[in-house]
A and B are shown apart, each in its own frame.
Chain A
Amino acid sequence: DIQLTQSPSFLSASVGDRVTITCRASQDISGFLAWYQQKPGKAPKLLIYGASTLQSVVPLRFSGSGSGTEFTLTISSLQPEDFATYYCQQVNNYPLTFGGGTKVEIK
């Protein structure tokens, strides 16, 4: 199975901060990576697919980059509604796998 390691697992930040979350894959997954945002009690929401393509209606402050084994999700200017948990998922090979999550909290 392909393991995904997210870092950090917890992040404390202020409104307006630039935030970067990293996802490392245990083997090459090309660009087959998705990012999700999840708020408590809700289903996850797709933010980015193909490592860098923004899903429709997702704000432009979200961006993704990377290929192979190292990927990043960046929020250019954190907004109050962005405080949530973020997950990466590799969709290159079955079994599909998720990263452990990064919880972004208010400083």
Chain B
Amino acid sequence: QVQLVESGGDMGQPGRSLRLSCAASGFTFSRYSMHWVRQAPGKGLEWVAVISFDGSNEHYAESLKGRFTISRDNSKNTVYLQMNSLRTEDTAVYYCARDRSYYDRTGYNVWGQGTLVTVSS
């Protein structure tokens, strides 16, 4: 079945780096843009980043530009989120998500289970 599985969440101090992974299965990964969305404890959803189906285009939330980088490996059906210079406010559950359409933006009908990143001194 269609599935996204995140990994790489961890606990650590401010300033460190972390790379999250999201492994996809059950669909043609290379046809879809892939997104990351995060949710701080007790807070709402925050869109983080997107990468196009072939990796040629990326967009980021303004507040995260320069610290976070999204990438993908279509041969491994995996999307990544490299997070540098982590801050306490980056503490959140990070979800990867896929749009229901591969040719348009409509909304995410496929989500991973989420991976928790905790940044604390």
Q: How far is the CA of A69 from the CA of B65 in the complex (A)?
A: 27
Judged by a CB distance under 8 angstroms, whether B66 is at the interface is no
How many angstroms between the C-alpha atoms of A95 and B61 in the bound complex? 5
Within the complex, the shortest CB–CB distance from B117 to chain A, in Å, comes to 16
Q: What is B's interface to A at a CB cutoff of 8 Å?
A: 35, 37, 44-47, 50, 59-62, 95, 99-100, 105-109, 111-114
Partner among A43, A48, A49 whose Cβ is within 8 Å of the Cβ of B114? A43
Are A96 and B100 CB-contacts (below 8 A) given A46-B109, A49-B106?
A: no
Contact size class for A?
20 to 34
Q: Are B59 and A43 in contact (CB under 8 A)?
A: no
Given the known interface contacts A96-B47, A98-B45, the answer about A43 and B106 at a Cβ–Cβ threshold of 8 Å is no
Residues of chain B within 8 A (CB-CB) of A32 are 105
- A36-B107, A43-B95, A96-B50 given as contacts; is B45 within 8 A of A87 (CB)? yes
Chain A residue nearest to B59 in the complex (CB): A94
Q: Which residues on B sit within 8 Å (CB–CB) of A95?
A: 47, 59-62
